[in-house]
Structure 1
Amino acid sequence: MRMTSVLLVFIGGIFVSCDASETPENPENKEITTAKVTQDTASQPVPLALEISQGDSDLIVNDYLKEALSPIRENFRRINTKENWTTIDSIALEESTEGGEALFYYDNDQLKKIVARHFGELGQQLNEYYLLADELSFVF
């Protein structure tokens, strides 16, 4: 019992003698201060230094891709603005217990777009495949 009391006094003395300024992160023992957030300062908006995008004009880094991506972008726009498809086929996907569905969009018997929706336990995954001249051109 006496040894336990001595040990507790010793440990208590260590905690009392520790100072926040004598930490390994503060070897020069400078005074550490903390900032308090009050309602007045928390409600003031913080100014952001963001610039508004100017569209294609601010993409100087990828300027060399502009011509190469032009047919792919045009195909993407053309396919997604089309409302009347010749045929839309559907098949069930059974890659998981929740299943899924794939839709095949045809224009004049030519496959243009595939949309695959995979259902999962916590959500779903949607993949869109775009074809140009019977070849895969873009996946979203």
Structure 2
Amino acid sequence: MELHISLGGRGDQAARIYRQVRDAILDGRLRAGERVPPSRDLARQLSVSRNTVAAAYDRLVGDGFLEGRAGAGTFVAMPSMPSMPSARAGSRTAPVGALRPSPRWAAVAGDLALRPRSRRPATTCGPGTPTVPCSPWRRGGGC
């Protein structure tokens, strides 16, 4: 399978790879179960670091677009998987009410609002760090 990705311009290359592979999946150019090129091969083809391609693939796996199979490679995720986003033509928005904060966060936010704020700046040297020699750092402005 040949995957065509354009990296012209400036900015985050991993994000551009992610978007173009995701769009190819959503548009149907990459079908469920189809194998994507190994990160090493795609990196060589695009003249980028393998880590750049691996970061894009990791994000695609995390978002449910790709799945890794041990010893076999990386494949477009099957639509029957619960983690696979729905890929209706022309619809790339999240369902209404899909994300809501947990009620637990309201209690945490309330606790944080009641805590008094310290007027002292945070430092790494002090009573809690007896093994750190602070005097050399104080001269240079580190503490």
TM-score (normalised: structure 1)? 0.18
Larger radius of gyration: 1
TM-score (normalised: structure 2)? 0.18
Q: Which is helix-richer, 1 or 2?
A: 2
